Amino acid sequence: MSVETQKETLGFQTEVKQLLHLMIHSLYSNKEIFLRELISNASDAVDKLRFEALAKPELLEGGAELKIRVSFDKDAKTVTLEDNGIGMNREEAITHLGTIAKSGTADFMKHLSGDQKKDSHLIGQFGVGFYSAFIVADKVDVFSRRAGDAASEGVHWSSKGEGDFEVATVEKADRGTRIVLHLKSGEDEFADGWRLRNIIKKYSDHIALPIELPKEVAAAEGEEQPAVEWETVNRASALWTRPRTEVKDEEYQEFYKHIAHDFENPLSWSHNKVEGKLEYSSLLYVPARAPFDLYQREAPKGLKLYVQRVFVMDQAESFLPLYLRFIKGVVDSNDLSLNVSREILQKDPIIDSMKSALTKRVLDMLEKLAKNEPEQYKGFWKNFGQVMKEGPAEDFANKEKIAGLLRFASTNGDEGEQVVGLTEYLARAKEGQDKIYFLTGETYAQVKNSPHLEVFRKKGIEVLLLTDRIDEWLMSYLNDFDGKSFVDVARGDLDLGNLDSEEDKKAAEEVAKSKEGLVERLKTALGESVAEVRVSHRLTDSPAILAIGEQDLGLQMRQILEASGQKVPDSKPIFEFNPAHPLIEKLDNEQSDERFGDLSHILFDQAALAAGDSLKDPAAYVRRLNKLLVELSA
């Protein structure tokens, strides 16, 4: 090795220090996974070289045979992994090996609890495979040179996995990266050809390029050392090109961990080959856990794109809609050109056809999961439900399919659990019920106890309870499901249709007619606060509620728009009162206009609070209430 120059010692990013501590002390019960992670990174480096060499063939430097080599030295207690991929220059080595350059870092650190067992599960959601080297090594040396750079511009990165690392410029004849692990005491089992071979076969058989190990042969006559021959120990064929019947579940699971940089098995997968007008293969996975950057819509996402088994793009986002951004996988097309770019992907009609088919395949996979593995689907919904709710607005063609996958809390369900599907809701609907009833609000407790539900409880009608911030926006895109329209029970003039008998309707009309005088008095008292006053058909126990106008924004949407600084159109609620309630009877008999006005405003403000709204003038409410209490205690 030639002389090192420009040598400097740098400190790890704080987050890396904490991750290294987790890696070294608690991450894996199965230490051999370090090799899987390093091979996976090496495979990515080779893929990146293939991609860049499409435009710049000179990057191959005459060595187009791409491979990964794993070797060991029992005496020195080292394991070495070498690839002839894209490599790194000095700046890239400092960035990639000394910091975590990934969105969601702050969220990740926020979730660390100090409990090593719990924290170790977070690693899989974050993907920091290189640092797994320190599980078995007390020192790691990395020698690398970026393809296209001069031999004199190699870099040597070295660390003992503590607070800092060293980096120096060094001569390196070949492009690519060589990682040397100096094994800890007690870890020399890994400096063994049989052991390494078994780990590679177990975890990395699916890698689509040769992984070679040295094969010792007898020394030729006159030679002191036996010659070293290299043999390929993995299949070195793309897993997605093999027939499904030949691929074991364990292979699918390991391939997922490779492409997703995840440590957990996927929930489900779908492997298909399409032939005919279009020819392509796809292998799609549903992860078990959500990544930290799931809600950052601008974060990198998409499938790995191959063209005739040549890697082209790591995050091709044109093949699935944004609401399915959590799906991982590979698509390999025979119909695209190798020099495909993101701009071309966005305009190519072939992509539109593939996107439509792949979207349906994912939705079918989720339907199957929901039907056959309801408990698994419950976990999926907990992780990805809010993202799925973006679907009806983005994907009109599959709106009904997506709606069938949505899950909600309901008046028939457990405490706030979103487990009720629309098909299940309709299956247990009342005879003659031709609507799907729902109510939105800020919290489960608020909507569960809302006065708007009183008539539904009385009649035993199930209502969906929607409390996610996105729900009111979602329902503006869902008009119906399976021929049944959605009805917001807090909006407009409630009509229960066939669920109300003719006698009930006639009695309601007569009550409304008899209270026309009270309606007029309330309109005068409440004035500009309300759009309308009317007798309520929704209430059985409460004195009054506020309903939303048919075309007005609900409370959720108003709050979202206001929080984003947008101007919210003015709207006034509809005041509905329960004519059978003692307070309303008392109000109807009140002779004093001043007292009638105070009582009316108290009922109005209480109805606003019950709806989860804030009062426009809290001080006036307190003043009127105190005045009333004084009168009652006199």
Strands 532-535 and 137-145: unpaired
What is the mean pLDDT for each group of 10 consecutive residues in the chain (634 residues)? Answer: 80 72 61 86 89 87 88 96 95 81 48 53 54 89 95 94 90 95 94 93 86 78 72 89 92 90 90 90 94 74 83 83 94 78 70 93 96 94 94 94 95 84 93 90 87 90 91 90 91 76 80 87 90 88 87 72 72 88 90 90 90 84 87 72
Provide φ and ψ at 76, rounded to 5°.
-80, -10
User: Do residues 51 and 194 make contact, with C-beta atoms less than 8 angstroms apart?
Assistant: no
Task: Please give the Cα distance from 600 to 592 (Å, whole number).
Answer: 12
* 96: its two tokens: 């990639």
Q: What is the DSSP string of 122-186?
A: HHTTT--GGGGGGGTEEEEEEEEE-TTS-GGGEEEEEE-SSSEEEEEEE--SSSEEEEEEEEPTT
SS3 581: coil
Map tokens 């966005």 to a residue: 346
Strands 484-488 and 228-232: unpaired
Task: Please give the Cα distance from 300 to 312 (Å, whole number).
Answer: 16
* 301: its two tokens: 């996402």
User: Do residues 209 and 46 make contact, with C-beta atoms less than 8 angstroms apart?
Assistant: yes
Instruction: List the beta bridge partners of residue 286.
Output: 268
pLDDT at 101: 43
pLDDT at 426: 94
State the distance between the two ends of the chain, measured CA to CA, in whole angstroms.
98
* 518: its two tokens: 């009270």
* 170: its two tokens: 């060094």
Task: Please give the Cα distance from 213 to 265 (Å, whole number).
Answer: 27
Task: Please give the Cα distance from 200 to 198 (Å, whole number).
Answer: 5
Residues in the chain: 634
CB neighbourhood size of 549 (10 A) = 15
Class of residue 546 by CB neighbours under 10 A (exposed 0-12, middle 13-18, buried 19+): buried
Q: Hey, what domains does the chain have and what are their CATH numbers?
A: 5-236 (3.30.565.10), 240-381 (3.30.230.80), 388-499 (3.40.50.11260), 502-551+559-633 (1.20.120.790)
pLDDT at 102: 47
User: Do residues 547 and 573 make contact, with C-beta atoms less than 8 angstroms apart?
Assistant: yes
Task: Please give the Cα distance from 154 to 169 (Å, whole number).
Answer: 6
User: Do residues 508 and 537 make contact, with C-beta atoms less than 8 angstroms apart?
Assistant: yes
Task: Please give the Cα distance from 375 to 370 (Å, whole number).
Answer: 8
What is the model's pTM?
0.76
Instruction: List the beta bridge partners of residue 137.
Output: 183
